[in-house]
Amino acid sequence: MNIRRLLIFLPVLVTSVLLASYFWVPSYEAQTRGNPDRLVQFITASSGDAKYLNPILSSDSASSQINGMIFEGLIDRDENLNFRGRVAKDWRIYECAYFYVNDQATTQRWGKLDAAALARHLNQELVGKQPDWQHLKAVELLPPQSSTQSHTLGQGEEARAIEVRVDAPARIRLTLDKVDQLLFQRLQTLLGPNYFSTFDPTPLVHPSVELPSDQLQALARQMLPATVHNPIIEFQLRPGVRFHDGREVTAQDVLFTYNAIMNPKNISPRSPDYEPVQSVEVIDPLTVRIIYKRLYSPALESWGMGILPAHLLNDEALAVEAKAKGIPAEKFSLRQSDFNSRPIGCGPFVFQEWKSDRFIRLKRFDDYWEGAPNYKEYVMRIIPDPLTQEMELYAGTIDDYNVQPHQVARLKKDPRFQNFSGTSFGYHYIGYNERRPPFDDPRVRRALGMAIDVKKIIKYVMYGQGEEITGPFPKQTDYYDHKIPPLPYDPKGAVALLAEAGWKPGPDGYLQKDGKRFAFTLITNNGNPIRKAILAIAQDAWKKIGIQVETDLLEWSVFIEKRVNQLDFDALILGWSMGIDPDLYQIWHSSQTGKYQLNFVGFSNPEADDLIIKIRQEYDHAQQVRYCHQLHALIAEEQPYTFLFVNRWTALMDKRIVREVRAADGTIAYKPITPTKTGTYTFYFNQWVKLPQAPTFEQ
């Protein structure tokens, strides 16, 4: 019967056509060993696709990884996390500091004297004379100056512009060859402790409209600050660094990159890093000078930003592109430019091809200033699923793989691959809302921390892939003080500490104080199995010492918007991922404890505030480290968080990949690849080669 036959024939036909395709598909063999190109190609996998191949717009990790290959910044961190020059050959950090001559004040050292005499004294007695003032290079007197400036009052809708006439008095400029945040404190020993604080600029400022006296005072302080630090970074660019299209990188490109970041149309997520910049000046084609409004030591790091080619993205170039696309030029910005999907930079790899959600292909840049990389091609495949990534690694169609914690024990033993491990930048913690009693008592916070066995969490939840952490700095940096011991696991001690704080066991077994039971809710976000496990462990640990703990798992955006941002929680489990720089202002300073701010636990300590400000104003590494150690000790003492652990990462890679180091005499030596403090193993990527056979290294 025809219909019956047809019904059987159709599925057979479909199946056979599908299965027949097996005989044509290239095997893994053809892709790897059978493919000579495979040796000069590095393939890595990423779980998500890139968004913008433009360093000033991207903020996700896949984009950053590719941008790091295509673009190059002025500086970056070397394997010991010190800065080293890239596009910049060298740089110099110095400062100009200013203060207004205070006519009313009597100086401690020289009595009452006029501006010219003060400048003369400073010059004669300080410059090049005393060891304390070695770094002071010049003192100049700037004459009084009157000017009219426009100023915006109020914010947002109520903003209005007013004209202000400013009669600035004589000013003294001090030029220092290094930044000194204590400069004015030192000067106070000569000029008197109140010399700067008694400077009253209010009578010197004349706004066009009548202002209330407090507003006028604030305005005057803002327009004529008694003292100003202007740190300056002067970069000397390396000659002969070229973009992939052959144009040389000049100071104009640096200026352009800065302007592009600050252009409000581009809404660059990087702009806050550059807010303290007062101006960027091109001195000559290879020199650029950056003047800052105030002391801000994290500034240097921001010049690791990839340099954009001005000639491809300036207003004329964008106008041409807008016209070709039929969009009015004023509505068109860098954000919409096709540059973001076929970028040109000056880094070691040139952009080739991007297939959305499939792969991004780069090829090496032969004119790279440091010498072309050994690999001819760099490919990032987008493979969302870790299991398929793993299968592709076994097959040899990707070269490295980030191992999940539970796989480490098994895969580290795999003789087919080399493996690397290191400490991540970031940590998990339990944060307590210090606005709510009893969390305002450091003894209670300490006791809660002591009741939790972090070692067991690391062992069983993290499969051993974590390390204890005692404070807010990345563990592999100098800023972290390894001498500070972690909280001991000591439930008995915790009970004793709580008793000291007034929490004693009640008749029902729960701790209580003034007839109130110790009870609170611990929350975290849903979808993170590690935090979920910690939630249960902490609840159980605290129950054992007599605390009643409710737990709640919330969807991420509800968790952030309704609870964290609104400061509506007792205790929460979260993690921070960090950069290298030790600036902790947003997370720990007491001015950041409001709604929508990041010091949501409400940690507030004047001593810590002072240290946080000193850290972000200190340009001397050793001194900064000393401040950081003090702050670390203070935070460990206060226990605003129970610091839990920092993750360890592990990666597998093809055993045949090694570092090829060329000595000056041309001899080639092979070295094994090792992880660096930067948190990766790819630091020497440009030297990597894949050998046909895995080499053996002596242990």
Partner 1 sequence: MLSFLGRSLIQKLVTLFFVSVVSFLVIKLAPGQPSQIDPLNPKFTPEIVERIRKVYHLDQPLHVQYLLYYKDLFTGKVVSWRDERPVLGKIWERFLNSLPLFIVGTLLTWTFSFPVGIRSAIHRDGWYDKSTTLISYFLISIPGFFFAYILIILVVTKLNVPVIDMQTFGVTSASPLVHFMDRLWHLVLPSVLGATGGIAVLSRYVRSQMLEIIGQDYVRTAKAKGLDEDRVYYRHALRNALLPFVTMFGMILPGLIGGSVIIESIFSWPGMGRLAYEAILGRDYPVILTINFISAVLVLAGTLVSDLLYMVVDPRIRLE
Site for partner 1 in 410-429 (CB under 8 A): none
Nearest Cα neighbor of 429 from 563, 572, 556 is 572
Site for partner 1 in 257-316 (CB under 8 A): 264, 267, 269-273, 275
Compute φ and ψ for 264, nearest 5 degrees.
-60, -25
As measured in angstroms, the least distance from the Cβ of 106 to partner 1 is 42
Quickly count helices (H) and strands (E) in the chain. Answer: 20, 29
19: contact with partner 1 by CB under 8 A: yes
d(CA 410, CA 255): 51
d(CA 303, CA 289): 12
336: contact with partner 1 by CB under 8 A: yes
As measured in angstroms, the least distance from the Cβ of 557 to partner 1 is 4
Q: Are 139 and 127 in contact (CB under 8 A)?
A: yes
d(CA 292, CA 273): 12
555: contact with partner 1 by CB under 8 A: yes
Nearest Cα neighbor of 452 from 367, 522, 512, 401 is 522
What beta strand segments (E) does 106-182 contain? Answer: 136-142, 145-153, 160-168, 171-176
When the beta carbons of 188 and 528 are compared against partner 1, the nearer one is 528
Q: Please select the residue that binds partner 1; options are 218, 319, 329, 395, rule is CB under 8 A.
A: 395
404: contact with partner 1 by CB under 8 A: no
HSE value, Cβ hemisphere, 13 Å, CA-based, for 440: 3
Count of residues of this chain found to bind partner 1 when the rule CB under 8 A is applied: 77
560: contact with partner 1 by CB under 8 A: yes
Q: Is 370 exposed, middle or buried (0-12, 13-18, 19+ CB in 10 A)?
A: exposed
586: contact with partner 1 by CB under 8 A: yes
Angle, alpha carbons 262-264-267 (nearest 5°) = 90
When the beta carbons of 308 and 547 are compared against partner 1, the nearer one is 308
29: contact with partner 1 by CB under 8 A: yes
Q: How far is residue 314 from each of residues 257, 259, 317, 341, measured CA to CA in Å? A: 10, 10, 5, 17
31: contact with partner 1 by CB under 8 A: yes
483: contact with partner 1 by CB under 8 A: no
341: contact with partner 1 by CB under 8 A: yes
d(CA 205, CA 564): 43
When the beta carbons of 52 and 688 are compared against partner 1, the nearer one is 52
Query: Residue written as tokens 């202000």?
Result: 164
As measured in angstroms, the least distance from the Cβ of 382 to partner 1 is 7
DSSP three-state, residue 604: coil
When the beta carbons of 659 and 690 are compared against partner 1, the nearer one is 690
DSSP three-state, residue 71: coil
**CB under 8 A: which stretch of 8-16, 484-492, 501-509, 542-550 binds partner 1?**
8-16
As measured in angstroms, the least distance from the Cβ of 435 to partner 1 is 19
40: contact with partner 1 by CB under 8 A: no
d(CA 49, CA 531): 26
355: contact with partner 1 by CB under 8 A: yes
Site for partner 1 in 587-646 (CB under 8 A): 587, 596, 598
Longest dimension (CA), the chain: 120
Q: Please select the residue that binds partner 1; options are 323, 342, 455, 562, rule is CB under 8 A.
A: 562
Site for partner 1 in 374-393 (CB under 8 A): 379, 381-385, 387-388, 391-392
Site for partner 1 in 70-89 (CB under 8 A): none
Q: Are 475 and 423 in contact (CB under 8 A)?
A: yes
When the beta carbons of 444 and 584 are compared against partner 1, the nearer one is 584
24: contact with partner 1 by CB under 8 A: yes
568: contact with partner 1 by CB under 8 A: no
When the beta carbons of 65 and 687 are compared against partner 1, the nearer one is 65
Site for partner 1 in 449-468 (CB under 8 A): none
As measured in angstroms, the least distance from the Cβ of 426 to partner 1 is 12
When the beta carbons of 400 and 441 are compared against partner 1, the nearer one is 400
359: contact with partner 1 by CB under 8 A: yes
When the beta carbons of 72 and 583 are compared against partner 1, the nearer one is 583
Tokens of 348: 């070691």
558: contact with partner 1 by CB under 8 A: yes
DSSP 627-683: HHHHHHHHHHHH-SEEEEEEEEEEEEEETTEEEEEE-TTS-EEEE-----TTS-S-T
329: contact with partner 1 by CB under 8 A: no
As measured in angstroms, the least distance from the Cβ of 419 to partner 1 is 21
When the beta carbons of 133 and 354 are compared against partner 1, the nearer one is 354
> CA torsion 541→543→545→548, rounded to 10°?
130
